[in-house]
Amino acid sequence: MFTTLHLAIIAPFFIAIVVPILYKYFPRTHTGWFVLFVPILLFLYFLRFIPETSNGNTYHAVFDWIPSLGIQFTAYVDGLGLLFALLITGIGSLVVLYSIYYLSKEQEALNRFYVFLLMFMGAMLGVVLSDNLLVLYVFWEVTSISSFLLISYWYERDKSRYGAMKSLLITVVGGFAMLVGFILLYQMTGTFSIQTMIQSVDDFTEHALFLPTMLCILLGAFTKSAQFPFHIWLPDAMEAPTPVSAYLHSATMVKAGIYLVARLSPIFAISGEWLWLVAGFGITTLFWGSFNAVRQTDLKGILAFSTVSQLGMILSMLGVGALALHFDGIDNNVYIGATAAALFHLMNHATFKGSLFMMVGIVDHETGTRDIRRLGGLMTIMPITFTIAVIGSFSMAGLPPFNGFLSKEMFFTAMVDVASFQQFNMDTFGVLFPVVAWVASVFTFIYSMMLVFKTFGGKLQLGQLEKKPHEAPFGMLLSPIILISLVIVFGFFPNILAYTVIEPAMASILPSLLRNGEHFLVDIYFWHGWTVELFMTMGVVLIGTVLYLTLRKWKSIYSLFPKHLSFNHLYDTTITRGESLSAKVTGMYMTGSVKHYLIYILTFFSIFLLYVLFSTDAFALNTDHLAPISMYEWLLAIVLALSAIAIMFAKNRLATLIILGVSGYSVALFFVTLRAPDLALTQLVIETVSVVMFLLGFYHLPEIAENFKKARFQVKNFIISFLVGFTVTVIGISASSTRLFESIADFFPKASYDEAGGNNMVNVILVDFRGFDTLFEILVLTIASIGIFVVIKLRLNEKEER
């Protein structure tokens, strides 16, 4: 049944159809205003589900799409899906509002922009609210495609096209692996419905396909969420307009992979490999992203690597949260805190990263540059933007009293707890987690400070800027202000999220821990007492400040890393090498010479046929029913064989013609001895005409004869042709030695006269029993003669000789 929920998911697609019409007929209004009401209405619609999900209820609606294949568009709303749906529509509304002021009505093709954006929004809603894996995959690929279109929005720029191509290639490769994983899951469980799988999860954890399935799906999730080493597409995707970067590449699309990991946690998270892969890749990405963010000079570059690193952080927390499954129930289960932290940080990251991107967009819009080497001293000129930047960055760095502080504390708690887990080598290697997490946080602190103080602190360099800077219009500031207020609100009152959003989402991620009627209790508060996490944060601030102030001295360590070992270089060389290699391989066998192609075809068929013949033991030689050979036949056979072989060596055209005639006539004589009078007649006539034809050919092409003479005996060609001849002989002998069933030869003597009234059986077959053959054979001759006429007469090219 098609429900309102289905309509809500695909509503953006319907509106996207109308957008170009609105754009054309209301040229005075910014198209964004028409689009704005879509995410707002959807946001309000999804808000209504909160009371339901926080009571532990879920909503489920099935619409048959391809029932014969068991593919249903099942909309499923639970805590996790709702959290993402609210993020998508909420941030979506703010981004649309921001884009109205950011994109100029006169200069930009707004119709394209909003069509792509709505496409993306609908696809993203579909990803998070589908219960059917194949439907999820369809929407997943639409997010890849719409992201590709949005990155290359300014398609006249080289870098946009490069970035779009790169992101498409990487995410689609991952998406394909994910599809393979989904199909393997179907093989194991017999269903595409995620919820049905979760209910029967114990049945297939020991399945042989379990690990391959997990790897395939994780590859999809990691490429989409820009995890190490697939993060390289995200910094290049910054060529997109800033609203797109804020929406897709910080708040929503890159979290699709995280959504997938969280959604499938109930299926896979019990295994140790999942824990190590998710947490390990997450923590590596966290470190690598924050480490590389410090070296960037472009504001969006910093934010891109920062997004990479924060996504790694969320993922590592989700991985650690899987440890909770190894305990019974939720009492005294410290590891469920990691899952809560992951979800909380997911929300926090969406708020502060969205506002930071919008802030960067404003700076870019008002000064004309995003290069931190040219920016500085904007504090007094753009006070509101500066405030946004300070709050966003401090929250990102994990400083109190903002929400980033809370989630960072919870993150440290989770990382410290990991080291005390007793399974999967956690007690030995697990100690790496808090260490790496701490170091990465130091770098996070450094680049967050760079973001604020290199842009707004220091000296104003008016000569370096393209425009004279001034504060942005209020409309542009509105969205980041709303987001930054959320940063503060979530910072001071984190528990408004806990009951409404985080607890139901945790119930979706860790369903097996809950007994009947239970629900998770998440209580986030500022003051934990003098715990180890607090000292870790203090250390981050202390060391971070020192390192930030001495940045110039140690920045040279980045140049130590050889450029040709970077992942971008690897990607580029893979693409170019792949292209040149395939061109080389194709060039090697596609020579353009007909002769070479014939050699491939003939050699393949001969070897294949001989192999099959001998490997299946099909070669047979049965001498029982052989017909006797008369003297004449021996003689004819020798003449025919000799004449055929002689033509290979013939260099004289007269000799060639004579040999041709001799072989043709001896075939005709064979027909005579084998009692086929009609064949013999036809063969004699046709051979005569053929010889005349070749004679004409030689006459009209005198130089061909010259070239003809030069032909030398080719040993290689002879070997191939000998192979072909041998194959034919062997197959001919085996075929005539094996008789599978009686032939219908006896039918014709009986029926020819009685049914068709003719004495000549061959002719009766040709015109009565199998008259169609003859009809079309006549057609062939007709076409050949018309073809010959046309080839000779038609001269389309006037310059050609007559």
Partner 1 sequence: MEILMSVIAGILFMVGTYLILSKNMIRIVLGTNFISHGAHILILTMAGLKTGAPPLLGLEATNYTDPLPQALILTAIVISFGVTAFFLVLGYRTYKVTGTDNTDGLRGPDSYD
Where in 348-387 is the site for partner 1 (CB under 8 A)? Answer: none
Q: Write down the least CB distance from residue 688 to partner 1, Å.
A: 11
Decide: is 183 part of the binding site for partner 1 (CB under 8 A).
no
Q: Shortest Cβ distance from residue 641 to partner 1 (Å)?
A: 5
Contact string (CB under 8 A) for partner 1, positions 513-532, x = contact: --------------------
| 659 Cβ contact partners less than 8 Å away, ≥ 6 residues apart | 643, 646, 647, 650
When asked if residue 697 is in the footprint of partner 1 (CB under 8 A), the reply is yes
Provide the 3-class DSSP secondary structure of residue 59: strand
**Residue 597 within binding range of partner 1, rule CB under 8 A:** no
Print the binding letters for residues 733-752 with partner 1: x by CB under 8 A, - otherwise: x-xxx-x---xxx--xx--x
Q: For residue 745, how many other CB atoms are within 10 A of its CB?
A: 8
Q: Name every residue whose Cβ is closer than 8 Å to that of residue 405 and which is 6 or more positions away in sequence.
A: 395, 398, 399, 491, 526, 537
- Minimum CB separation of residue 665 from partner 1 in Å reads 11
Tell me if 675 contacts partner 1 by CB under 8 A.
yes
Rg (CA), the chain: 38
Residue 704 within binding range of partner 1, rule CB under 8 A: yes
User: Applying CB under 8 A, which of residues 202, 703, 742, 798 lies at the interface with partner 1?
Assistant: 703
CB of 604 to partner 1, least distance (A): 13
Could you tell me the smallest distance in angstroms from the CB atom of residue 579 to partner 1?
A: 13
Identity (one letter) of the amino acid at 161? Answer: R
Report which DSSP code applies to 169: H
Q: Does 542 bind partner 1 (CB under 8 A)?
A: no
Establish if 676 lies at the interface with partner 1 (CB under 8 A): yes
Compare residues 565 and 796 and give the one whose CB is closer to partner 1: 796
* Residue 448, CB-side half-sphere exposure with 13 Å CA sphere: 27
Q: Terminus-to-terminus CA distance in the chain, angstroms?
A: 73
Q: Which of 425, 575, 701, 755 binds partner 1 (CB under 8 A)?
A: 701
Of 554 and 632, CB closest to partner 1: 632
Residues within window 770-789 making contact with partner 1, judged by CB under 8 A: 770, 773-774, 777, 780-781, 783-785, 787-788
Taking CB under 8 A as the binding criterion, the range among 229-237, 537-545, 573-581, 687-695 that sits at the site for partner 1 is 687-695
296 phi, psi to nearest 5 deg: -70, 150
Smallest separation (angstroms) from partner 1 to the CB of 780: 5
Restricting to residues 46-75, which ones interact with partner 1 according to CB under 8 A?
none
Q: How far is the CB of 434 from partner 1 (least distance, A)?
A: 56
Q: Which is nearer to partner 1, 165 or 684 (CB)?
A: 684
Q: Which range in 114-122, 181-189, 441-449, 756-764 contacts partner 1 by CB under 8 A? A: 756-764
> Should residue 669 be labelled a site residue for partner 1 when binding is judged by CB under 8 A?
no
Q: Which of residues 610-629 bind partner 1 (CB under 8 A)?
A: 621, 625-629
677 binds partner 1 (CB under 8 A): yes
Long-range contacts of 415-424 (CB under 8 A, 24+ apart): 415/316, 415/320, 416/532, 416/533, 417/320, 417/334, 417/335, 417/337, 417/338, 418/279, 418/320, 418/323, 421/323, 421/326, 421/335, 423/272, 423/326, 424/272, 424/275, 424/276
Burial group, residue 248, by CB count within 10 angstroms (0-12, 13-18, 19+): buried
Binding characters for partner 1, 565-594, by CB under 8 A (x = yes):
--------------------------xxxx
Cis peptide before 401 (omega within 30 of 0): yes
What is the DSSP annotation of 615-667? HTT------TTPPP--HHHHHHHHHHHHHHHHHHH--SHHHHHHHHHHHHHHH
Element holding 27 (H helix, E strand)? none
From the CB of 710, what's the least distance to partner 1, in Å?
A: 9
Pick the piece of the chain touching partner 1 (CB under 8 A) from 163-171, 240-248, 273-281, 665-673.
Answer: 665-673
Q: Which is nearer to partner 1, 211 or 648 (CB)?
A: 648
Tokens (6 digits) for 571:
């990607």
Nearer to partner 1, 542 or 696 (CB): 696
Nearer to partner 1, 459 or 675 (CB): 675
Which residues neighbour 286 within 8 Å (Cβ) at sequence distance 6 or greater? Answer: 309, 310, 312, 313, 316, 436, 437, 440
664 binds partner 1 (CB under 8 A): yes
In the numeric block, the tokens 């056979």 are attached to 637
CB of 614 to partner 1, least distance (A): 16
- Give the CA distances from residue 160 to residues 233, 307, 351, 475, 723, in Å, rounded to whole numbers and listed in that order: 12, 19, 26, 27, 56
Question: Under the criterion CB under 8 A, does residue 683 sit at the interface with partner 1?
Answer: yes
Q: Verify binding: residue 641, partner 1, rule CB under 8 A.
A: yes
CB under 8 Å to 326, separation ≥6 — which residues? 270, 421, 423
User: Quick one: 570 or 784, whose CB is closer to partner 1?
Assistant: 784
Candidates 60-68, 102-110, 157-165, 764-772: pick the segment binding partner 1 (CB under 8 A): 764-772
**Please, which residue, 332 or 707, has the CB nearer to partner 1?**
707
At 798, list the tokens.
Answer: 């006037």
Pick from 689, 740, 741, 798 the residue near partner 1 by CB under 8 A: 689
Choice between 157 and 739, CB closer to partner 1: 739
Of 118, 115, 110, 113, the residue nearest 28 (C-alpha)? 110
**C-alpha dihedral (95, 100, 102, 108), degrees to nearest 10:** 120
